Amino acid sequence: QKANVSLAIDGPAASGKSTTAKRLASIFRFRYIDSGSMFRAVTLKCVENGVDPHQQPDKVASVASSLDIQFPDYGTVSVNGELVTHQLRQESVARAIGPIASNPQVRHTLAEHQRRLASTPDARYPGFTHGKETIQGVVMDGRDIGTVILPHAELKVFMVADVRDRAQRRFQELQGKATLDQVMADIEARDLADRTRTISPLKKADDAIELDTSRLSIDQQVAAIQKLVYQKLQQHPTV
Ligand code: CDP
Ligand code: CDP
């Protein structure tokens, strides 16, 4: 017997979503879909091609639909066959993302791609055995996964953390490429834009479980969600 589960992980910038989602996917051998990287990929290509996201929304939309965004492995991203994992993490990309994330045509194109990937079986992600069942699934992280993209996900987690902790984490990742104050200001600006846009804002789904990661280690975050998955499986033996 086979069962399918979807895990939706949402929350503000640097709350720990992608690190946790990636680990969980690899533990459960589920597919991992990093929706934030899709928005970052569209932004990177717009910047490279000199498309102005504020002045040229239609061009941004055609860039979005021209891109083949794939996740060849847990944590790597390719666009039209080229690996762009590291370029996507630049602060310049994060800073330019606002008008692209609030472009309805871009969101429509990416939502279709996200749902298509989520429902396409892939032999690389065989799932795990639970009793007599094979549990296959997908872990997707972002801002609107539990609310809009996968509203029927079996488990929804909304990760939060104190903004100072989040800024400190991102600052460490950037290894001196920006000051702590800059990183904090960028995170606050992006959170505000994400929470207040009219289309698919950052918001906890009513049935999501909130997890505050401010005082948790990565291992503790992962263990907490793993436990929730097993609890779900216990409640609904055939999810
Ligand atoms: O890793 P970090 O939290 O900094 O960002 P990300 O998850 O890579 O997402 C980058 C940006 O893409 C977010 O600030 C959102 O503006 C946008 N995004 C979105 O609008 N919807 C999603 N499902 C995922 C990301
Ligand atoms: O995907 P999101 O932007 O929510 O966050 P992330 O990229 O997974 O995590 C941001 C940074 O915080 C990464 O460098 C993690 O290693 C680090 N971190 C964490 O996720 N959880 C902790 N408890 C401590 C650090």
Domains by residue range for the chain, with CATH: 2-235 (3.40.50.300)
Distance 24 CA to ligand 2 centre (A): 14
Q: How confident is the model at residue 162 (pLDDT cuts 50, 70, 90)?
A: very high
Average pLDDT, the chain: 95
The residue whose CB lies within 8 Å of the most ligand 1 atoms, and thus the one to mutate among 190, 196, 204, is 190
Query: How does residue 219 score in pLDDT terms, banded at 50, 70 and 90?
Result: very high
Ranking 4-8, 52-56, 72-76, 136-140 by mean pLDDT, the lowest is: 72-76
Q: Which residues line ligand 2 (CB under 6 A)?
A: 11, 13-19, 169, 173, 213, 216-218, 221
What pLDDT sits at residue 11? 98
Q: Taking residues 154-174, what's their average pLDDT? A: 96
Q: Which atom of ligand 1 is nearest to the CA of 145?
A: 23
> What is the per-residue pLDDT for 174?
86
Distance CA 136, CA 122 (A): 10
The pLDDT score that the predictor gives to residue 192 is 96
Q: pLDDT tens digits, residue range 167-184?
A: 999 999 988 888 999 999
Q: b/e string for 31-41 if b means 16 or more Cβ within 10 A?
A: bbbbbbbbbbb
Exposed, middle or buried by CB within 10 Å (0-12, 13-18, 19+), for 230? exposed
How far are the Cα atoms of 4, 68, 100, 132, 167 from residue 135, in angstroms, in the given order?
A: 6, 28, 35, 10, 36
Q: How far is CA 172 from CA 19, 182, 187, in A?
A: 14, 13, 14
Query: Within 10 Å of residue 187's Cβ, how many Cβ atoms?
Result: 22
The predicted model gives 122-145 an average pLDDT of 95
User: What average pLDDT does range 207-222 have in this prediction?
Assistant: 97
201 - beta bridge partners? none
pLDDT for 38? 98
Reported ipTM exceeds the 0.90 cut: yes
Q: For ligand 1, what atom is nearest to the CA of residue 10?
A: 23
Q: Give the per-residue pLDDT at 238.
A: 55
Average pLDDT over residues 62-78: 95
Task: Report whether 11 contacts 195 (CB < 8 A).
Answer: no
Q: Are 140 and 6 in contact (CB under 8 A)?
A: yes
Question: Hey, which of 20, 35, 168 would you mutate to test ligand 1's pocket, going by the most ligand atoms within 8 Å of its Cβ?
Answer: 35
pTM of the model: 0.96
User: For residue 237, what pLDDT is reported?
Assistant: 57
CB of 190 closer than 8 Å to CB of 97: yes
How confident is the model over 14-42, as a mean pLDDT?
A: 97
Q: Kindly state the percentage of the chain with pLDDT values over 70.
A: 98
Please name the helix (run of DSSP H) or strand (run of DSSP E) that holds residue 174, with its range, or none: helix 163-174
pLDDT at 123: 94
For the segment 37-64, what is each residue's pLDDT rounded down to a tens digit? Answer: 999 999 999 999 999 999 999 999 999 9
